[in-house]
Amino acid sequence: MSACTSAPSGGGPVQQVEVTRVVEVTRVVEAAPAENIPEGAIVIDFWHAFGGGRKFLIQRMVDDFNYTHPGIYVRAENKGSYRDTLNAAILAAQQGNPPHIVQIFEIGSQLALDSGIFVPFEDYAGDFQPEDLIEGVANYYNFGGKFYSMPWNSSNP
């Protein structure tokens, strides 16, 4: 973003105005993608914390899923940082309009559980095989013997 000031002689800010306009147009395009939701499809809202190039990777994965599952339409939305995404999901749930799936960072899993608004993932995953997970990673997602989420992009320092 840029702020407007009085123009110095020589017309210097003309380039700045052009750049600002391009950024504003880009924001509009990113904020309002065209959705082609198939008629009668089940719509699943998926909130994630990936920005930059990873945002486009996630969208490609979602597009591939939507293409191969015509009766289901996943709508991916970036909500900022990991903490911002978790906070947005908790607030949305408290307001009665939560997303169906949320990407939560490992340590945030306990905060999500403590909020009381998340349900165990494994209750909805028919062929989930917890023994396929690395035990140290799986422990971040297992509470009281139930998996409330599953590892997707666990990382280390």
What was the pLDDT predicted at 8?
Answer: 38
What was the pLDDT predicted at 134?
Answer: 83
109 and 41 in one domain?
yes
- Edge-to-edge strand list for the sheet holding 42-48: 72-78, 42-48, 101-102
83 and 50 in one domain?
yes
105 and 94 in one domain?
yes
Distance CA 41, CA 114 (A): 32
CA 157 remoteness from chain centre: 22
Distance CA 25, CA 121 (A): 39
Task: List the chain pLDDT tens, one digit each, 157 residues.
Answer: 223 323 334 444 444 434 334 444 434 444 445 578 889 999 999 999 998 888 999 999 999 999 999 999 999 999 999 999 999 999 999 999 999 999 888 778 788 888 888 888 888 888 888 888 888 878 877 888 888 877 777 665 5
What's this model's pTM, rounded to 2 decimal places?
0.69
What was the pLDDT predicted at 155?
Answer: 65
What was the pLDDT predicted at 9?
Answer: 42
Distance CA 75, CA 82 (A): 18
Tell me how many domains the chain contains.
2
Domain enclosing residue 141, as ranges: 120-152
What is the β-pairing status of strands 146-147 and 142-143? antiparallel
Are residues 59 and 77 in contact, defined by beta-carbon separation less than 8 angstroms?
no
What was the pLDDT predicted at 10?
Answer: 45
Are residues 87 and 104 in contact, defined by beta-carbon separation less than 8 angstroms?
no
What was the pLDDT predicted at 85?
Answer: 94
Instruction: State the sign of the Cα–Cα–Cα–Cα dihedral 2, 4, 8, 14.
Output: positive
82 and 129 in one domain?
no
106 and 135 in one domain?
no
Q: How many residues does the chain have?
A: 157
Q: Which residues pair with 46 in a beta bridge?
A: 76, 101
71 and 40 in one domain?
yes
Closest CA to 57 of 133, 138, 129, 152: 152
Are residues 71 and 41 in contact, defined by beta-carbon separation less than 8 angstroms?
yes
Are residues 74 and 65 in contact, defined by beta-carbon separation less than 8 angstroms?
yes
